Amino acid sequence: MQLVTILGSTGSIGISTLDVIGRHPDKYKIYALTANRSVDSLFKQCLQCNPEVAVMLDQAAAEQLQQKIIKAGLAIEVMSGVQALELVASQTPVDCVVAAIVGAAGLMPTLAAAKSGKRILLANKEALVMSGALFMREVEANGATLLPVDSEHNAIWQCLPVGRHQQHHFDGKGVRRIILTASGGPFRDFETTQLEHVTPEQAVAHPNWSMGQKISVDSATMMNKGLEVIEAHWLFGMPANQIDVILHRQSIIHSMVDYDDGSVLAQMGNPDMRTPIANALAWPERIDSGVTPLDLVAVGRLDFTKADVNHFPCLALAYKALEAGGTSTAILNAANEVAVDAFLNHQIGFTHIAKIIDRVLTELPSNNGDTLEQVLADDQQARQFAKTLIN
């Protein structure tokens, strides 16, 4: 029986994880569930799973949850704040931590899990985007097991040559390139001039996946894919020039590995996050995820086109930050989070997201990122500068 902490249990990844876990009560038990401010959602999950601990990042929300827990007669400890997130990610009884908090807020608790040598199911891109070298160093030093949950990285992980009972320590030998697939989001067929007039409501309506607002906008700008390029670099030790992105509108092939001998291995499946979650939860075994089996005859065709960086400038900015190194990727991520939030609140237009990120990335100096303090300082500086540009 594995004890599991889910960081960000009320988001789409957290909900999908609970669905998979619920199918295997003999294998998994929830130790802790966490959320930001979604009191009602977390309370419903507490009623369903009866965890030992529930954490809300927001203190006022935690107090509201506490009252509901007491009224329901549940013996669940309620905590609040970043330190509480770090605690439930590193507690001795916990076997597995699902890192599903979106954005920079997920960095510290995920890092705490790494320092505690946990089995980490990584769905939070920012842990690697902001501090890839630091994070991977902690994983190695503390014997943590890092398993990717992003559908693309999980696909690559399944296609790389690794022993059944080994974690990935892949040296890149024999691999020509990693190919990340992208649906292209809701605006893949738009003319560039049309992008100036799109609304937040249009941007969050992803054609293939059901996701939260921020990640849906990132998918629409292709920044999400840019962050995945950075993440793939750290997970698999591949340089930027060996990581390609292509558009694949059906989202059936989740990514591919191209080998020197001409072989291309692809992982396929219906677009449902329960597949990579189940794969990482049960590794090296396989368990039922609840996902409908893939029917290739019903799919009928698979289409691929080049990812145009002129149409998706955020993708080019991610490559630029990765090649610059140091804290450039943390600066990129911070500026993007601020710009996306401003777009969702109707403060800026869709095409201004990339323009703001470009200015922040160009005008702010980066550091080598050797310490967490450097990373966090440059993150805050980038946020402040981005907000200045918006206002």
How far is the C-alpha of 323 from the C-alpha of 366, rounded, in Å? 12
Give the SS3 label for residue 15.
Answer: helix
Which residue type does 218 have?
D
pLDDT < 70: residue spans in the chain: 162-172, 206-211
- Domain 2-148: give its CATH architecture: 3-Layer(aba) Sandwich (3.40)
How far is the C-alpha of 91 from the C-alpha of 19, rounded, in Å? 24
H-state helical runs in 104-150: 107-115, 126-141
**What is residue 207's predicted lDDT score, i.e. its pLDDT?**
67
What is the C-alpha end-to-end distance of the chain, expressed in Å?
Answer: 52
Q: How far is CA 20 from the centre of its chain?
A: 18
Indicate the CATH number of 325-391 among 3.40.50.720, 3.40.50.300, 3.90.1150.10, 1.10.1740.10: 1.10.1740.10
Beta strands 96-99 and 145-148 are unpaired
Domain ranges of the chain: 2-148, 151-191+201-270+281-309, 325-391
Burial 34-46 (b: 16+ CB within 10 A, else e): bbbebbebbbebb
**What is residue 197's predicted lDDT score, i.e. its pLDDT?**
86
Strand partners, 286: none
Distances (CA, A) of 8 to 11, 22, 110, 321, 344: 6, 17, 11, 27, 21
Torsion of CA 204, 245, 237, 172, to 10 degrees: 140
Burial 100-131 (b: 16+ CB within 10 A, else e): bbbbbbbbbbbbbbbbbebbbbbbbbbbbbbb
Contact 327, 378 (CB under 8 A): yes
How far is the C-alpha of 242 from the C-alpha of 244, rounded, in Å? 6
How far is the C-alpha of 248 from the C-alpha of 183, rounded, in Å? 5
Strand order in the sheet with 2-7: 77-80, 53-56, 28-35, 2-7, 96-99, 119-122, 145-148
Strands (E), 58-118: 77-80, 96-99
